Structure 1
Amino acid sequence: MERNPIEGFSKLTKEEKIHKIISDYLDGDETYRTILQQYWNQQPELQKLHDEFSENTISNFYMPYGIAPNFLIDGKLLALPMAVEESSVVAAASKSAKFWLTRGGFTTTIINTKKLGHTHFIMNVETHKLLHFFNFQLKERLMESTNSITENMRARGGGILNIRLIDKTQELPNYYQLKASFNTVDSMGANFINSCLEQFGQTLREEVAKSDHFSDQEKESLQIVMNILSNFTPDCIVRAEVRCPIEDLNDESGISNSEFAWKFKQAVTIAEIEPFRATTHNKGIMNGVDAVVIATGNDFRATEACAHAYAAKDGKYSSLSHCSIEGGVFRFWIDLPISVGVVGGLTNLHPLVKFSLALLGKPTAQELMSILAVSGLAQNFAALRSLITTGIQKGHMKMHLLNILNQLGATEAQKQYFVNYFKDKTVTHHEVITQFNQLKEQQI
């Protein structure tokens, strides 16, 4: 079926958008309208709020919202909210939390909270001339020009920390950066940082134009390419760790404590040296991190981008977590670069985000950084613990069992039968279908 472009789609009402999509893309099948409407919030005010979070909204896409209890973090007992659709993530986090609850819990350290942004520009000028201009004229003017933007942030203890001129001409002809670092306190700070950077670009243009330091040709060569924060924040970093004597590990899998510790460390080392393993290893870490990031109204895409860039910072993609065995002590930790906020954005609007932050004791941005690092470390511990003992599929497929049964249209009685059937067996997709077909023949 040949389709014509949709003109003015954003100007249509929600009902008109739905009608247009169904008629043009879904052969006029009105059952799809019912699907969309099933996921509307029954409170009109709340649905209107959701509609205004994004553009061209026609429904809501729900994710399960679960709780992982018993996390002892820096001496405080917390229950972590997790918005995630993948089976076993919440269960794995909860299992790790329970394991470490009696072994001292998780401890965290905020290493730094510096965030970065850049004004990227092209200028055909000798570097030493531009550097002199920056040091003796421009830098001070950049700070002055943003005073009105930074006033409120400075009152809260944040603001612009530093501005540097970066020479990138060896990588791209005539390319320079104004590289700025920021402290955004309890906000993620994207709008604040970008507003400052856009003012930097404007001030740079104005100061170059009126300066007698450059020739007319040099002035005309200035081109502001873009002003934008960086989601790579290697200096906004938190460490989370667990440790205990090897004799206290007492894993239930049947292997000795020393063998468990040795195999666990080998598994982490493999992820440190092998990118193919590190990718899956770090994906598991981000299962835990992203679930809490989403539940607290933060940007999981920025979190993912930053974590993976950090994992490759030394020129080779590697593990975000690390393990050591020294003096009979097992230690497992993660250094996670992460930029999040507890004010602004959805944190003041989405009801479940408000609930999540209340559940966590209304944390500061730094406390939330710690919680996220712990969630990632707990997830990683659970995955590695399974991999080196029973294997990952035994627990994962048991959690996935209900998804398979729902796809097959199983009744509640049939679901209960399968839960009991696989209590002491490994779940496989093939075995579930085979047994399900036998049940249907027996009309159970």
Structure 2
Amino acid sequence: MSTTQPSSRISGFHKLSPDERLQKTADFAGLDADAVTHLRNMGNLDPALADRLIENVVGTMNIPLGIATSLKIDAQDYLIPMATEESSVVAAVSNAARQCYDHQGFQTSMSGTFMIAQIQLVQSPNPHDSRLRILERKDEIRSLCNECDPILVQMGGGFHDLNVRVLQTEGGPMVITHIVVDTKDAMGANAVNTMAETLAPHIERWTGGKVYLRILSNLADQRLARARAVWTCEAIGGPAVRDGIVSAYQFADADPYRAATHNKGIMNGISAVVLATGNDTRAVEAGAHAYAARNGHYGSLTRWEVTPEGHLAGSIEVPMAVGLVGGATKLHPTARACLQILNVQSAQQLARVIAAVGLAQNFSALKALATTGIQKGHMSLHAQNIAMMAGALGDEIAVLADKLVALGKVRVDIALEELKRLRG
């Protein structure tokens, strides 16, 4: 029998239909018929659309879509669609929102809808002279940028500002040009990248240097979404719980090891809404973590403190480059449905809602850590997954999950034993 490893160099793979690609993949990997049938079923996404959204598509990865309730944001009630595979995320947001609902809920604001593109100039004979030469061309740069996207300009967006700095690096000084663009209801990556590429040859001509990179920055620190809320002492279980939450935040803000997990919990909520609305989860996550380290120390994205009345006040400020137009946001039918559920009218409104969700998520995580521990609520939901992995069906799932939680042993080997007992 031949043991020759099949080659992954498949000529013309991108030209095949999704079904033909799937068959090639199945042959290469030795997939069984059940796996092929599963991948062939693309659910509620048209295979033709899937084939346009990414390259070499063979299937779709369906993520559960849940609804968080009880969100009152800027005096308006919302149901929040969240796409995530992690247990307890949706419940955490709903519980946090319920506990501050009667105390005005969440108040939000936004710094603007500005995105930054960077143009990297090297080999400049006089870096500081080059910096001034570029700044002197601001009006010309404005015209060049706005000519790239006249529709954006008609909507009130377009070039907003210019910043140039000399950056000292291992390879010598670089002149870094930042163009700041108001992208309005678009996330804006394509718009600002086009503008940066258009400017590149002009900057070379003006300075005598060489441009390499010309691309947006995901550290969208001129596109900050902010949210704040107050939880009364009575609503959250008293002063001991309040002080435990504040102490947990202080730990995270001082220690990067804790902050990484603390901020990951915040992003559990944020990324779930970003994904549900067809926006770029990786861009938002990169921007958030970079912003958390903006002062040279990686700390908390949230702040928690005690009000003069003795209540708990929480706030968050985070870059939020999301949009309502372009890409999957407009093309993906599930994303469009989620935006209908949210009923947001602008990218700013969507960003503010997402910030509120991140704050709610953080509240629930810190409260759990400060009281019963994070595992109690998380494991009760995780137990259902373990029950299904053990083979439980129908009503058996809830019964077996409850048994595992009661035993305090949410493990597959225990689930297998208990399922045998349950079935007699």
Q: TM-score range by the shorter chain?
A: over 0.9
Which of 275, 281, 290 is equivalent to 1:300?
A: 281
In the alignment, what sits opposite 1:100? Answer: 100
Q: What secondary structure, in the 3-state scheme, does the structure 2 residue paired with 1:71 have?
A: strand
CA distance in 2, matches of 1:300, 1:133: 37
Given that 2:146 and 2:158 are in contact with CA atoms closer than 8 Å, whether structure 1 keeps it comes out as no
Q: Does 1:242 align with 2:198?
A: no
CA distance in 2, matches of 1:174, 1:422: 61
Q: 1:196-240: CA deviations, max 9, x gaps?
A: 1111102223445xxxxxxxxxx3xx2210210000112211211
Please report how far the alpha carbon of residue 11 of structure 1 lies from its aligned counterpart in structure 2 after TM superposition.
Answer: 1.8
Q: Which runs of structure 2 are paired with 1:138-217 in the superposition (5 Å)?
A: 138-169=137-168, 172-207=171-206
In the alignment, what sits opposite 1:288? Answer: 269
What percent of counterpart residues are identical? 33
Given that 1:23 and 1:29 are in contact with CA atoms closer than 8 Å, whether structure 2 keeps it comes out as no
Which of 6, 13, 38 is equivalent to 2:10?
A: 6
Q: Would the alpha carbon gap of residues 110 and 124 (structure 1) be closer, same or farther in structure 2, given more than 3 Å must change? A: closer
Q: 1:38-72: CA deviations, max 9, x gaps?
A: x32378xx221122111100111100011011100
In the alignment, what sits opposite 1:214? Answer: none
CA distance in 2, matches of 1:135, 1:413: 69
In the alignment, what sits opposite 2:81? Answer: 81
Q: What secondary structure, in the 3-state scheme, does the structure 2 residue paired with 1:332 have?
A: strand
Q: Does 1:34 align with 2:37?
A: yes
Q: 1:105-145: CA deviations, max 9, x gaps?
A: 11112134332111112133123432342244x33322222
Q: Would the alpha carbon gap of residues 205 and 250 (structure 1) be closer, same or farther in structure 2, given more than 3 Å must change? A: closer
Given that 1:41 and 1:47 are in contact with CA atoms closer than 8 Å, whether structure 2 keeps it comes out as no
Please report how far the alpha carbon of residue 426 of structure 1 lies from its aligned counterpart in structure 2 after TM superposition.
Answer: 6.2
For structure 1, which segment, 434-443 or 296-305, has the greater mean C-alpha deviation from structure 2 after superposition? 434-443
Q: What secondary structure, in the 3-state scheme, does the structure 2 residue paired with 1:429 have?
A: coil
Larger radius of gyration: 1
Q: CA RMSD in A?
A: 2.0
Q: What secondary structure, in the 3-state scheme, does the structure 2 residue paired with 1:227 have?
A: strand
Q: Could you list the runs of 5+ residues in structure 2 that have no partner in the other structure? A: none
Q: What secondary structure, in the 3-state scheme, does the structure 2 residue paired with 1:144 have?
A: helix
Q: Which runs of structure 2 are paired with 1:406-417 in the superposition (5 Å)?
A: 406-417=388-399
In the alignment, what sits opposite 2:215? Answer: 228
CA distance in 2, matches of 1:183, 1:401: 47
Q: Would the alpha carbon gap of residues 250 and 69 (structure 1) be closer, same or farther in structure 2, given more than 3 Å must change? A: closer
Given that 1:150 and 1:160 are in contact with CA atoms closer than 8 Å, whether structure 2 keeps it comes out as no
State the AA in 1 paired with 2:11: E
Q: Which runs of structure 2 are paired with 1:57-68 in the superposition (5 Å)?
A: 57-68=57-68
Q: Which runs of structure 2 are paired with 1:397-436 in the superposition (5 Å)?
A: 397-421=379-403, 425=406, 427-430=408-411, 433-434=413-414, 436=416
Q: Would the alpha carbon gap of residues 42 and 435 (structure 1) be closer, same or farther in structure 2, given more than 3 Å must change? A: closer
Please report how far the alpha carbon of residue 170 of structure 1 lies from its aligned counterpart in structure 2 after TM superposition.
Answer: 5.4
Please report how far the alpha carbon of residue 278 of structure 1 lies from its aligned counterpart in structure 2 after TM superposition.
Answer: 0.6
CA distance in 2, matches of 1:258, 1:344: 47
Q: Could you list the runs of 5+ residues in structure 1 that have no partner in the other structure? A: 209-218, 252-256
Moved over 4 A (4+): none
TM-score by length of 2: 0.93
Q: Which runs of structure 2 are paired with 1:374-385 in the superposition (5 Å)?
A: 374-385=356-367
CA distance in 2, matches of 1:338, 1:258: 33
Q: Aligned pair count?
A: 419
For structure 1, which segment, 196-205 or 283-292, has the greater mean C-alpha deviation from structure 2 after superposition? 196-205
Please report how far the alpha carbon of residue 303 of structure 1 lies from its aligned counterpart in structure 2 after TM superposition.
Answer: 0.6
CA distance in 1, matches of 2:251, 2:407: 27
Which of 335, 338, 347 is equivalent to 1:365?
A: 347
